[in-house]
Amino acid sequence: MLESLIAADKNLLVYLNGLGSSSYDSFWLFITKQINWLPFFLVLLYCLYKKVSLKTLGVIVLFLAGLITFTDQMTNLVKYSVARPRPCNTEDIKELIRVVKCSPTLSFFSGHASNSTATMLFLFLILRKYYKYAFLVFIFPLVFAYSRIYLSLHFPGDILVGYCFGIFSGTLFYILFKYIETKYADKLH
């Protein structure tokens, strides 16, 4: 069963990665860098700033820092436990894929997918009561994580599991945030 899932994951990667072309490589290399998304993150912080108190915004930023740390460390723990090589370092398929970027680090599961999903879910759950189109924040993890497949840095399964872990951790931290916000409501406003 596991072997058939791994084979399907490899086949899907070969297909999706093969859709790329060198004319789009620089775009996807730009997309995959977190720092290039800084204006997007600043807009989200500004949207929060307009709707919540400065103290609440400070708590949200602390929760985001904790969420990213938690998600990142759990991702690394799993990566080193599973020790799955990245597609660009996988012998049986590396001749079949377009290697746009490679890294010697491990693949399962995607930190880009887990962190981006966790943070955007956490922010969406806060922003949804203030903004009708808050769901648009999910464009970020979708595009950001796909860049990893395009570049040959992750298998689709790595992305899917990263999304699932991101949903879990983003929800967990939102529940903790709501608890703190409710318990200390008088001090946060």
Q: Where are the domains of the chain?
A: 2-188
pTM of the model: 0.92
Write out pLDDT tens, residues 59-99: 999 999 999 999 999 999 999 999 999 999 998 998 889 98
Write out pLDDT tens, residues 1-55: 888 999 999 999 999 998 989 999 999 999 999 899 999 999 999 999 999 989 9
DSSP structural state of residue 136: G
Residues 138 and 134: their CA atoms lie apart, in Å, by: 9
Nearest to residue 138, comparing CAs of 148, 156, 125, 129? Answer: 125
Q: DSSP states of 17-83 as a string?
A: HHT--GGGHHHHHHHT-GGGGHHHHHHHHHHHHHHS-HHHHHHHHHHHHHHHHHHHHHHHHHHHHH-
In the block, which residue shows the tokens 């690394």?
76
- 182 C-beta neighbours (distance < 10 Å), count: 9
In the block, which residue shows the tokens 């069963």?
1
- 20 C-beta neighbours (distance < 10 Å), count: 17
Residue 21 amino acid letter = S
The pLDDT assigned to 76 comes to 95
Q: Work out the average pLDDT over 99-119.
A: 93
DSSP structural state of residue 130: T
Q: Which helix (H) or strand (E) holds 88?
A: none
